Amino acid sequence: MRATFGTSGAMTRTTAVVLLLIAAVAVSSFPRAAAAPPEAGGGLKGKLVVVVVDRVGIAEFPGNETPFCRSLADRWATGLMTTRTQAPSRTAALETGAEYVTLGAGMRAYGATGAGLSFDSTERFTGLGGSELAGEVFHGYSGTPGPEAGVVCMRWPEIRRAMESGSLEENAGLLGGEMERAGLRTAVVGNCDGYDGPLRLSPLICCDASGTVPLGRVSGFTDPRDTGQPFRLDALAEQSERYLAEADLVVVDTGVTGRLDRDGAASNPYFSAGRTRVALHEVDGLVERLTGRLDLEASLLLVVSPSAPSEARRKGDYWTPFIAAGKGFSRGLLRSASTRRPGLVSNGDFLPTVCEFFGISIPAEVTGSPMRTVPATFQVDHLQDLDAQYAVTRQVRWYIVFPYFFLSLLLLILWVFSLAPVAEFLGWPYDAAMLSRALRPTALVLAAAPVSFLLASVFRFESVLLPLGFCFAFSLAVGLGAWKLPYVRPGADPFASICWLTAGIIVVDTALGGRLFMLPLLGDNAMEGSRFFGLSNTVAGLLVAVCVWGAAGLGAERLARPGGARWVLLAGIGALTFVIGFGLLGANAGGVIVVVTTGLVFYFGSAGRRFTAWLDAGIAVAVAAVTAVMVAADALFVRTHAARAATGGAGRIAALMKQRLAIQLGQTTSTLPFAIVLIAAVLLLAVWMRGPGPFWRGLWERERPRTAAFYAILVGGLVAMLFEDTGTGMLAIMMLVSTLALVYYYLPVDQPMDEPGGQTLARA
């Protein structure tokens, strides 16, 4: 019995051991998704590690191929970072390094062609046949000695000149300079070398004003021509760990994802997808290894993608994933004072976040703000849905907004055809009054459409059907409801009612955080929701136009009467100035100039004042005074690039105007002839309306509020072209609203027509 028992016990123990081995093998084969980030408390303290995983989108990173990074994002803070720079959009295909310079500058910056030519100081510089060290060549080229164990950025002098041309010289190399002044050491390791040669952009993040990084190694590590193990990051991880012992800030460039994105256009899609999966798997292992070296209660890990994938940028999508794990952060979505939106941050927020971690005062030159955590769950899923919705919105805009503008233009053409002289000449239409009766309610329906384009942002849609159906139903209901409004409330102005409804929705949403502006169907582009310095110019122009036409609907008697109505109108101009210029969504200095100019022109014009030279000068002085107050408040509390330029002297103002002119020309390249014709027509019409001719004199006398509104919109639109970088869009939306008002109010018939409820409109 004992023998049997002993044999049985031995078998039992053997079976147990075998089962344990099987379990161990099974557990070890589980994907890293089951692994959680290491508990805080062990490892290095006071370190900040920046892992660069370039050219990835939130749809792929963090994802199934990067389970550790996904768990890191779920446990800590994550968000989408806009990678916009000062570089014109037409240079997006060039490797200027502007996205990397921006991270180290604290505001949108410039780059230069060949910006990736960075080298170890001790590396043989192949440009001279390998006879000299890179540090020696850099010394002779720039006048600055290369650090013995560091990195030199060969194209830094060209980048400096580009920054100086934009009056941003104080921001060039700002992060590296602040680290050095604080007595902290910085290191950079890794590269993105490709088949075409060296590409080392990460030193631009942490170099100082001279273009050098005190510690680092950017040569070696990976060789894309090595068909064996081209993505193994073991050597990179080992070198990064060495620098962690010496430096306070370590920037690690994984390189592999950026290289694959740049080479993807020339690769087989299926082969490229497989290589991407392998590369992401290696990146995940590197991040896990570095995280294991840190005490996340006292250190910080930032995973950043400085630039968006090539395909996304071609579609106008500049969002990339950003993960922050460690000191100062918790589980949730990232946000900052510059974005004011959970889940969204700016690349200008990177430098303030680093400075805050090290206890460095944030320089006044910076326009970004430190990142914070907003408690949330399912962060990555939320951001993936948001990014996917951006993609759908970009497609839907072509099927909704552009047909809308075409219909508005068609309405204006039909209105012109119904004018008596034109109708007599063409012999069509036979009954102009009947055509007018159809055009006027149509104008109301189209006037209600812009706000429906904003309200459509409330929904999540995957095709054009839902937003198209909503916008059509909303516009039809509101437009026809306003048409019948005088039946219920005699004397009511249908067009003004729609304007007040639109203004109310925009102002209320602005006060609640701008939810409707996140995914706008209306605007110059689908990324207008990423404007972090106030309302977008298109929405601001819409708000100005509807407020002016809504005020015109109050009538000549109220607006011309001294006292209450005039004071209310003046207070309304002030409130509108605050909402556009310094509302809860940030600052828009150009918008202040537009709204004050438009408001004051309407204020004096509706009261019967003639626009003499003295009055014009007085309006200009008042606009300048309000703008100065706005810029001062902006410089103190928001610190946008416009306020910084305005407070920096004539040189920076000239640079800002030059930049905005370049943006205007770049955005109107495809529609430049139309834009020039529109601007010239608006200018001539504004001058004509101010003239003493009998036609306009009669309109100023009979229809003073509406004529003043139209004239104010013309003047405001021209001002927008001068002081807004996307003033073409602002001018277009202001003129669109005014065109619909023109069709509705001014009848192209010989006799006035009665509105429902007895309202009579004057003849044109």
pLDDT average, residue stretch 413-425: 74
Q: Is the confidence at residue 703, as pLDDT, over 90?
A: no
* 3-state DSSP assignment of residue 14: helix
Q: What is the pLDDT of residue 590?
A: 77
End-to-end CA, the chain: 118
Among 153-167, 580-594, 688-702, name the most confident range.
153-167
**How much of the chain, in percent, has pLDDT values that exceed 90?**
35
Q: What is the pLDDT of residue 238?
A: 93
Q: Is the confidence at residue 341, as pLDDT, over 50?
A: yes
Q: What is the pLDDT of residue 527?
A: 57
* 3-state DSSP assignment of residue 725: coil
Per-residue pLDDT of 555-589, as tens digits, reads 777 777 776 778 888 888 888 888 887 766 666 77
Q: Is the confidence at residue 139, as pLDDT, over 90?
A: no
Higher pLDDT, 751 or 578: 578
Q: CA-to-CA distance for 723 and 653, rounded, in angstroms?
A: 11
- The pairing of beta strand 77-82 with beta strand 332-336: parallel
Contact call for residues 211 and 152 (beta carbons, < 8 A): yes
Region of poorest pLDDT, from 45-49, 320-324, 621-625: 621-625
Q: What is the pLDDT of residue 18?
A: 36
638: confidence class by pLDDT, cuts 50, 70, 90: low
Region of poorest pLDDT, from 55-64, 163-172, 402-411, 596-605: 163-172
Q: Is the confidence at residue 747, as pLDDT, over 80?
A: no
Q: What is the pLDDT of residue 314?
A: 81
Closest C-alpha to 519, from 368, 397, 405, 380: 397
38: confidence class by pLDDT, cuts 50, 70, 90: very low
pLDDT average, residue stretch 361-383: 89
Among 90-99, 520-529, 591-600, 669-678, name the most confident range.
591-600
Q: Is the confidence at residue 702, as pLDDT, over 90?
A: no
Region of poorest pLDDT, from 241-255, 306-320, 506-520, 730-744: 506-520
Q: CA-to-CA distance for 455 and 284, rounded, in angstroms?
A: 40
Q: Is the confidence at residue 434, as pLDDT, over 80?
A: no
* 3-state DSSP assignment of residue 78: strand
Q: Is the confidence at residue 495, as pLDDT, over 60?
A: yes
Higher pLDDT, 526 or 742: 742
Average pLDDT, the chain: 80
pLDDT average, residue stretch 679-694: 66
Beta bridge partners of 153: 118
Q: Is the confidence at residue 3, as pLDDT, over 90?
A: no
Q: Is the confidence at residue 648, as pLDDT, over 70?
A: no
DSSP string, 183-252: T--EEEEE---BTTB----THHHH--TTSEESEEE-SSS--TT-SSSTT--HHHHHHHHHHHHH-SEEEE
Contact call for residues 611 and 604 (beta carbons, < 8 A): yes
CA distances from 612 to 558, 601, 604, 605, 615 (A): 23, 12, 11, 11, 5
Higher pLDDT, 423 or 160: 160
pLDDT average, residue stretch 73-78: 95
CA distances from 416 to 422, 428, 681, 713, 749 (A): 7, 11, 16, 20, 11
Q: What is the pLDDT of residue 425?
A: 67
Region of poorest pLDDT, from 276-280, 613-617, 694-698, 744-748: 694-698
Q: Is the confidence at residue 127, as pLDDT, over 60?
A: no
Q: CA-to-CA distance for 64 and 32, rounded, in angstroms?
A: 10
| Token pair of 408 as six digits | 């508005």
Other beta carbons less than 10 A from residue 15's beta carbon: 10
Q: CA-to-CA distance for 640 and 169, rounded, in angstroms?
A: 16
698: confidence class by pLDDT, cuts 50, 70, 90: low
pLDDT average, residue stretch 137-145: 87
Region of poorest pLDDT, from 494-498, 511-515, 593-597: 511-515
Q: Is the confidence at residue 618, as pLDDT, over 50?
A: yes
Q: Is the confidence at residue 673, as pLDDT, over 70?
A: no
pLDDT average, residue stretch 100-108: 93
Region of poorest pLDDT, from 257-266, 414-423, 632-641: 632-641
Beta bridge partners of 322: 79, 304
Domain spanning 42-378 has what CATH number?
A: 3.40.720.10
Q: What is the pLDDT of residue 655?
A: 55
Q: CA-to-CA distance for 321 and 313, rounded, in angstroms?
A: 14
285: confidence class by pLDDT, cuts 50, 70, 90: very high
Q: Is the confidence at residue 511, as pLDDT, over 90?
A: no
Closest C-alpha to 331, from 47, 88, 72: 72
Contact call for residues 341 and 375 (beta carbons, < 8 A): no
Side chain identity at residue 387, one-letter code:
D
756: confidence class by pLDDT, cuts 50, 70, 90: very low
pLDDT average, residue stretch 108-135: 82
pLDDT average, residue stretch 699-722: 83
Q: CA-to-CA distance for 264 and 257, rounded, in angstroms?
A: 10
Q: What is the pLDDT of residue 25?
A: 34
* Alpha helices (runs of H) in 638-693, residue ranges in sequence order: 641-646, 650-667, 672-690
Q: What is the pLDDT of residue 512?
A: 80
Domain boundaries, the chain: 42-378, 488-745
Higher pLDDT, 722 or 355: 355
Q: What is the pLDDT of residue 141?
A: 83
Higher pLDDT, 152 or 666: 152
Q: What is the pLDDT of residue 553?
A: 87
pLDDT average, residue stretch 55-59: 92
Region of poorest pLDDT, from 57-66, 298-307, 310-319, 376-385: 310-319
pLDDT average, residue stretch 59-75: 93
Burial of 6 (0-12, 13-18, 19+ CB in 10 A): exposed
Contact call for residues 189 and 236 (beta carbons, < 8 A): yes
Strand intervals (E) in 11-100: 48-52, 77-82
Q: Is the confidence at residue 126, as pLDDT, over 80?
A: no
Contact call for residues 374 and 110 (beta carbons, < 8 A): no
Q: What is the pLDDT of residue 250?
A: 97
Q: CA-to-CA distance for 472 and 397, rounded, in angstroms?
A: 14
* 3-state DSSP assignment of residue 109: coil
Q: Is the confidence at residue 113, as pLDDT, over 80?
A: yes
Residues 172-197 as b or e (16 or more Cβ within 10 Å = b) = bbbbbbbbbeeebebbbbbbbbbeee
Per-residue pLDDT of 463-472, as tens digits, reads 889 999 999 9
Q: Using a CB cutoff of 8 Å and minimum separation of 24, what contacts does 502-509 make?
A: 502/448, 502/450, 502/451, 502/542, 502/543, 502/546, 503/543, 503/546, 503/547, 503/550, 505/451, 505/454, 505/455, 506/451, 506/454, 506/535, 506/539, 506/542, 506/543, 507/543, 507/579, 509/454
